[in-house]
Structures are given as C-alpha cells and as structure tokens.
Chain A
C-alpha cells in the first residue's frame, strides 16, 4: 500500500492515471501530454508499474499502457484529485512543443 501512496503523491503520475482512465494509450501518446523528457516519463511509468497501478502490453509493434486499479485505488485517486494534493508542481496541459519554444 505504501508504493500506491508514493505513486499517487506525484501530480504527473496522477495525470497519467487520469489519461488512462479514458482509454489505454501508448507511451508516446502519454509522453506528448507532459513537458518532461521521455526518460523522466519512463521513470514515472516504472513507479506506477511497481505499485501495480498500470500494466504494459505489447499490441502489434506498440507498448500499450492500461489501468490496473482496484475500486479502492480508483476512489483514492479521485479523492487526491478532488483535494488537489501535491497540485501545482507540474503543468500537465503544456505540450513538449510549448516547452521547446
């Protein structure tokens, strides 16, 4: 449970989980949503995988990430989002192109 709290404490990782709630996505699609480098995103994915909150599967030539949340973890994610715990550390809506400019 400690690894779950650690994973949910970071706003970027929470944003990744929120995006995956809509549908499973590839690592590239997810990385495009954040103004951080791909190695940093890979580290975030590793933390989420270690906490057993997401899983990766190979479909064709792409690695697809999908949610693996229990109902309690899902509720915990909504709860942390509702109260904005750790908010303001990143600007997830900014794109990579925006940062490069």
Chain B
C-alpha cells in the first residue's frame, strides 16, 4: 500500500516479532498438551519451554543490530549507535544461546542460576559498553 521504507521496515520487524511470539506460544501449548496426555513429565516441560524461550530470544537478539539503525543526528551519534548495537546484539545472542544450552543439558539447580546470571551479565556488559563508548565519544568530540 505504501512504499515508505521506514514503514516497510517497521512492518517487517513487527511480523518477525509476531512469528517468534507464535513459536514460543505454540511450543508451550504443545508441551502442555503433551503433559496432559502423559507423554512428558513436568521437568521436561519446564526444560523444553526454557530452551524454546532461549532460542527465540537469541533469534530476536540476532536481529536487533539491524533494527536499531534509525536515521542518526550526527556522525558521533551514528558511531555510538552502531557500536552499542553491535555489542548488545552479540552479548544478548550469546547469553540466550547459553540459556538454551544450560536448560537443555545442565542439572536443574545450575541451569536455574547460571542462565539468569548469563543474561544479567550480558545486560551489564551492554549497558557498561554503551556508557563507556558514550563517554569516549564525548571526550573525543570535545578535543
């Protein structure tokens, strides 16, 4: 209907996010159904749910550096946005892959703690890098 590239991009991102949500909800429903039929136990449902969640969020994080690129106000802004987007995309993707792997293979007590620790660490690294890069950009701009 419209050839506006921003609108097309936004529509593409929304469709991608809805597909991921459908995969997560569909997976959960199938697991609940399998549990009610007695094919799997509660432990397997919990683990499989977390693996699906981890993989879906890793797929979303993989695409975030592509989604964050809006029109920049200045070259400094573009440099900062690109660097922060790349680092947060990488850290979040790796963290959610670790989440999925831990819930698939690790003992439950380790999976519960370490999966959350991986995601928290990735958030800390992403925010820390963005703050550091922002300060470095500001310092180089004032020189």
User: Are B90 and A71 in contact, with the CB atoms below 8 A?
Assistant: yes
Bound together, the chains give a CA A66 to CA B73 distance in angstroms of 13
Binding site for A on B (CB under 8 A): 61-63, 65-66, 69, 71-75, 78-79, 82, 86, 89-90, 93
Chain B: minimal CB distance from A51 (Å) = 12
Residues of B within 8 A of A70 (CB): 62-63, 65-66, 89
B74–A59 touching, CB < 8 Å:
yes
| A64 and B75 form a contact (CB under 8 A) | yes
Question: From residue B92, how far is it (CB to closest CB) to chain A in Å?
Answer: 9
B69 contact from A21, A23, A55, A72, Cβ within 8 A: A55
- Say whether A68 faces chain B, with CB atoms less than 8 Å apart: yes
The answer to whether B82 touches A23 (Cβ under 8 A) is yes
With contacts A59-B72, A64-B72 taken as known, whether A71 is within 8 angstroms of B65 at the C-beta atoms is: yes
